[in-house]
Chain A
Amino acid sequence: DAKTTQPTSMDCAEGRAANLPCNHSTISGNEYVYWYRQIHSQGPQYIIHGLKNNETNEMASLIITEDRKSSTLILPHATLRDTAVYYCIVGETSYDKVIFGPGTSLSVIP
């Protein structure tokens, strides 16, 4: 079973920042937080991951709370192409299979 909880759906205005929350209160010390997204009918796409520190790449930023029990994925300037289901996943950097929960369905609105 997935070890994270996310809102079922969210809307965001085009051009604004999309902030997607995730709760992972049972995360262990050696588990990372990963984010993927799935645009309709396509394969999931890795976005970003982090352990303790905030992370940023060309796609998004990841903010992890100090107690590591929750995190927020930030898409700084959402576009219509960012409409997708976003999955927050916790796991170790071992092979451990990725277990997807239902994710958050983000709709970017013109």
Chain B
Amino acid sequence: NAGVMQNPRHLVRRRGQEARLRCSPMKGHSHVYWYRQLPEEGLKFMVYLQKENIIDESGMPKERFSAEFPKEGPSILRIQQVVRGDSAAYFCASSHSESTGAYGYTFGSGTRLTVV
């Protein structure tokens, strides 16, 4: 049973370009969570999605950031017009259902975004 798969592992973008980060949850998991970790800082919650729905996006920056989790395919975190301050590790987690809560969280290995 494969774990949470994130790709790419490393992504380099020039300022102003778009970054697309993909997350495939564990098999059977229908809940996806995105976190950002700036260099030398802690993990910050960004957004919680279920299939085709955004449940909680209270941690998402108001501009340039969007997330989706379509009926088919991986969850996508999209960052438009990237700036140097977007350079960070982005982690995705998945869980099976609401009842499992934090216990059911499995994290991926992350995508390291570098904006040059």
Chain A positions near chain B (C-beta within 8 angstroms) = 32, 34, 36, 38, 41-46, 49, 89, 91-103
Contact = CB atoms under 8 A, between A and B. Distances in A.
12 contacts: A41-B89, A42-B109, A43-B91, A43-B110, A44-B43, A46-B106, A92-B101, A93-B99, A95-B31, A95-B98, A97-B48, A102-B42
* Consensus secondary structure, chain A interface: loop
Interface string B78-116: 000000000001010101001111110111111000000
Contact of B105 (A46, A94, A99): A46
A93 B101 contact: yes
Contacts of A32: 101-103
B56 interface: yes
B45 interface: yes
Interface in B1-47: 4, 31, 33, 35, 42-45
Contact of B95 (A41, A44, A89, A95): A95
A77 B99 CA distance: 33
Interface of B: 4, 31, 33, 35, 42-45, 48, 55-56, 59, 89, 91, 93, 95, 98-103, 105-110
B50 to A, nearest CB: 8
Which of A97, A99, A103 gathers the greatest number of chain B CB atoms within 10 Å?
A97
A78 B103 CA distance: 23
Which of A42, A43, A96 gathers the greatest number of chain B CB atoms within 10 Å?
A43
